């Protein structure tokens, strides 16, 4: 529908995927997205074709690559415990056959419709926090309702006394009060569903475009059933006490017009409810304030590079089966084309941007000593092209930038070039000039330090300074960075056209501005701050309404 114009004859036609022709043999039904939450594939292909699609030869035989999830349907009468035991038995057998790759590796069995195991802990913690916060908001609303029902019951004491005198039993009076409280909670639940329907798109809009997941918040039967259950429970639970107090009132004194309003003014239960409501509101407001403050602090952190006038695009000509020479030629032409555009100051490439999901770590050892028996310094690694620091606005503190010759393949026995950040310089050579010194990364040939740059943020915005090494040789998959003189948004379409001009078979992914990219590291703080801030404001509003209603009955 999106790319092929809803072609009714698409079955049997051929599509080009990463340079390989595939025949379309079927179309999935509308709404089907597979089994994993938040992942919606655009197409499905046989697992045996993975090497043709990814151009990763050896993927099917590499026992160190973990990219498959086994999916199975349990037989009738077989529960998850038995399936887990069977999978653990199979894991033990595989470990016996392949102890070098499968030692201490077990199987994780989870329902196919849930979040995959490695991410379930984070998702559960976040959703659990939200449930706890909004449960407190619900508690405030229920306390409001209970307080107002208590006050209203005092005002209706004469009515209930007359009903009792006319023969209505306690059960009938309690039933009437519970019906009223349940009706109120039902109306509130319905209003909540309408509000959720309106605000769900706003929550989805918080997701950064570069986050490779698809979020959906459907109002399905599960949401409706949960809302109905909560509405019924809260209506009964918080309407029961006012109903019992109304049903046990003394009939004779009330019918004699003896004052009853003072009883509510002196009610300990009313005082307890008001104190608890205010305390809960204060807790939510403090938590919301802390989260919003954390968001403001995170937004003001300097990541160590320019985020205003930079456009980015991720490319991978190697996925089309291009040779190393073809990949190098493509990037050289693209750099020339983009660099010649009006309003472009400079261009460069990096294997992956800082503060993203990808990372590369190694261990650095001072000098040319062998890594054996040495305690190396853990370092992060970024692979960049010449001009990267100028394009990203990263200050070069000492030394020089890479030159094109250092980016080309060379003899592994030769000494390579490396640029380090100031944190690594202080780690290995405090108060000394590290330029022209040498290090080793893992088992690689020694590297000569040719420059030192300012330390930035590489994994998270709140991290402590991390030692990092920049290397000049990049893989096929790279991110193009373009420094512009004006708004980079205006150049995105032009950059896309230039990529197609250089090679029409290569498509850019994550084509966006750096400011759009920065919504990704800020996504957790922004989402948490917004939701908790909204809950704090809602709690304050409910508390003020409740106190006003209660005081209006007392005064």
CA distances from 455 to 7, 126, 130, 466 (A): 53, 31, 35, 8
Q: Residue 484: its pLDDT value, please?
A: 94
Q: Residue 239: its pLDDT value, please?
A: 81
Question: How far is Cα 280 from Cα 62, in angstroms, rounded to an integer?
Answer: 55
pLDDT per residue rounded down to tens, the chain (555 residues): 767 778 888 898 888 887 788 899 999 888 787 777 777 788 889 988 888 887 777 778 887 777 788 888 889 988 888 998 999 999 899 888 888 888 878 888 877 766 666 566 677 777 888 888 888 888 888 888 877 777 776 666 666 666 666 666 777 777 888 888 889 889 989 998 998 888 888 877 777 776 767 777 778 888 899 999 999 998 888 888 777 776 665 655 655 555 454 454 456 766 777 788 888 888 888 888 888 888 788 788 889 999 999 999 999 998 888 888 999 999 999 999 999 999 999 999 999 999 988 888 888 888 755 545 456 789 999 999 999 999 999 999 999 999 998 887 765 556 789 999 999 999 999 989 999 999 988 766 689 999 999 999 999 888 899 999 999 999 999 999 999 998 999 999 999 999 999 998 888 888 999 999 998 888 878 888 888 888 888 888 888 888 887 777 666
Apex 101 CA angle, 96 and 102, nearest 5? 50
Size of the chain, expressed as the number of residues it contains: 555
Strands 478-484 and 361-366: unpaired
Q: Tell me the CB-side half-sphere exposure of residue 50, using CA atoms within 13 A.
A: 13
Domain ranges for the chain, please list them.
Answer: 14-102, 117-301+524-554, 310-517
In eight-state DSSP terms, residue 463 is: P
In eight-state DSSP terms, residue 317 is: G
Cβ 177 vs Cβ 269: under 8 Å: no
Residue whose entry in the numeric block shows the structure tokens 């020089």? 400
User: Dihedrals φ, ψ of 8, to 5°?
Assistant: -70, -15
User: Dihedrals φ, ψ of 75, to 5°?
Assistant: -70, 155
Q: Residue 4: its pLDDT value, please?
A: 76
- Contacts of 227-234 with C-beta under 8 Å, sequence gap 24+, read 227/189, 227/192, 227/193, 228/186, 228/189, 230/138, 230/189, 231/182, 231/185, 231/186, 231/188, 231/189, 232/182, 232/185, 232/186, 234/138, 234/142, 234/145, 234/185
Q: Residue 155: its pLDDT value, please?
A: 62
pTM of the model: 0.73
Q: Residue 395: its pLDDT value, please?
A: 95
Strands 468-471 and 377-383: parallel
Cβ neighbour number for residue 99 with a 10 Å cutoff: 10
| Widest Cα–Cα separation across the chain | 107
Nearest-CA neighbor of 156 among 177, 181, 184? 177
Q: Residue 554: its pLDDT value, please?
A: 61
Q: Residue 386: its pLDDT value, please?
A: 94
- Contacts of 540-546 with C-beta under 8 Å, sequence gap 24+, read 540/281, 540/285, 542/137, 542/140, 542/141, 542/144, 542/281, 543/140, 543/144, 543/277, 543/278, 543/281, 545/144, 546/140, 546/143, 546/144, 546/147, 546/148, 546/274, 546/277
Apex 76 CA angle, 75 and 81, nearest 5? 70
Question: From the DSSP assignment, how many helices (H) and strands (E) are in the chain?
Answer: 17, 13
């Amino acid at each position: 529908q999106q790319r092929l114009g809803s072609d009714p004859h698409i079955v049997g036609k051929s599509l080009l995927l990463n340079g390989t022709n595939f025949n379309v043999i079927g179309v999935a039904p509308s709404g089907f997205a597979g089994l994993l939450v938040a992942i919606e594939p655009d197409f499905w292909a046989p697992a045996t074709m993975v090497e043709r699609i990814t151009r990763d030869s050896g993927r099917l035989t590499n026992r160190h690559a973990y990219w498959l999830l086994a999916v199975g349907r349990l037989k009738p009468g077989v529960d998850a415990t038995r399936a887990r035991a069977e999978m653990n038995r199979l894991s033990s057998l595989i470990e016996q056959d392949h102890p070098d790759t499968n030692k201490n590796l077990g199987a994780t069995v989870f329902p196919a419709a849930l979040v995959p195991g490695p991410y379930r802990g984070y998702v559960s913690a976040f959703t659990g926090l939200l449930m706890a916060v909004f449960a407190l908001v619900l508690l405030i609303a229920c306390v409001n309702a209970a307080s107002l029902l208590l006050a209203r019951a005092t005002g209706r004491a004469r009515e209930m006394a007359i009903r009792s005198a006319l023969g209505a039993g306690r059960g009938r009076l309690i039933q009437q009060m519970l019906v009223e409280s349940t009706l109120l909670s039902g109306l509130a639940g319905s209003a909540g569903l309408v509000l959720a329907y309106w605000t769900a798109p706003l929550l989805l809009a918080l997701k950064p475009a570069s986050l490779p997941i698809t979020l959906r918040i459907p109002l399905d039967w599960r949401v409706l059933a949960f809302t109905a259950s909560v509405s019924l429970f809260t209506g009964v639970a918080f309407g029961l006490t006012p109903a019992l107090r109304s049903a046990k009132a003394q009939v004779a004194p009330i019918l004699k017009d003896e004052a009853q309003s003072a009883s509510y003014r002196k009610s300990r239960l009313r005082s307890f409810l008001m104190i608890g409501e205010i305390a809960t509101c204060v807790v939510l407001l403090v938590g919301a304030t802390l989260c919003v403050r954390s968001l403001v602090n995170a937004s003001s952190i300097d990541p160590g590079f320019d985020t205003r006038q930079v456009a980015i695009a991720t490319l991978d000509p190697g996925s089309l089966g291009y040779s190393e020479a073809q990949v190098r030629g493509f990037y050289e032409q693209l750099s020339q084309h983009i660099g010649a555009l009006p309003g472009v100051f400079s261009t460069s490439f990096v294997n992956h941007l800082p503060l993203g999901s990808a990372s590369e770590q190694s261990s650095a050892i001072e000098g040319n000593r062998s890594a054996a028996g040495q305690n190396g310094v853990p370092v992060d690694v970024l692979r960049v092209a010449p001009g990267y620091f100028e394009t990203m606005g990263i200050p070069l503190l000492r030394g020089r930038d890479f030159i094109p010759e250092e980016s080309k393949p060379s003899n592994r026995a030769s000494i390579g070039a490396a640029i380090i950040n100031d944190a690594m310089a202080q780690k290995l050579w405090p108060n000394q000039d590290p330029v022209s010194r040498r290090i080793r990364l893992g088992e690689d040939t020694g590297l000569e330090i040719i420059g030192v740059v300012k330390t930035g943020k590489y994994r998270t915005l709140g991290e402590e300074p991390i030692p990092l090494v920049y290397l000049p040789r990049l893989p096929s998959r790279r991110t193009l960075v373009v420094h512009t003189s004006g708004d980079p948004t205006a150049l995105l379409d032009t950059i896309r056209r230039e990529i197609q001009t250089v090679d029409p078979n290569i498509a850019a992914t994550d084509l966006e501005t750096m400011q759009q990219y920065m919504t990704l590291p800020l996504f957790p703080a922004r989402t948490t701050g917004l939701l908790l801030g909204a809950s704090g404001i809602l709690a304050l509003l409910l508390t003020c309404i409740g106190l006003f209603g209660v005081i209006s009955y007392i005064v």
